[in-house]
């Protein structure tokens, strides 16, 4: 069974803090993705990576950066958290066919 894990289920941070969201997959997938999910907006792609140290911007990259130093790990970084980044963050991995999602991190920025 493919397993995608995320470092936290719930996170509360203050405005201006630097926030790290970690994602690990155990299936040796090339591709990893970060989405945010907001009511009525579906899943919006923030960044994705198709290889170690490679990254591509998704549809809403502003205010975010990513890091992929190892194949199994993909980190999402909020350099200076803002209240409009309060959301559910979902990580996914895949080979180019289906995507496997992690359980999500609900981030609240106060």
Contact residues toward other proteins (CB under 8 A) are 31, 33, 35, 40-45, 48, 50, 56, 58-59, 90, 92, 94, 96-104
Residue 62 burial (10 A CB sphere; 0-12, 13-18, 19+): exposed
Residue 41 is given by DSSP the state: T
Residue 70 is given by DSSP the state: E
- Distance in Å, CB of 14 to other proteins, minimum: 26
- Distance in Å, CB of 53 to other proteins, minimum: 16
Comparison of 50 and 82: residue with beta carbon closer to other proteins: 50
């Amino acid at each position: 069974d493919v397993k995608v894990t995320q470092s936290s289920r719930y996170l509360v941070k203050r405005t201006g803090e630097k926030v790290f969201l970690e994602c690990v997959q155990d299936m040796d997938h090339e591709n990893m993705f970060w989405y945010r999910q907001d009511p009525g907006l579906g899943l919006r792609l923030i960044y994705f990576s198709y290889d170690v140290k490679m990254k591509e911007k998704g549809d809403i990259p502003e205010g975010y950066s990513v890091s992929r130093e190892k194949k199994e790990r993909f980190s999402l970084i909020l350099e200076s958290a803002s209240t409009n980044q309060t959301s559910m963050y979902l990580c996914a991995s895949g080979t180019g066919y289906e995507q496997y999602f992690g359980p999500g991190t609900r981030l609240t920025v106060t």
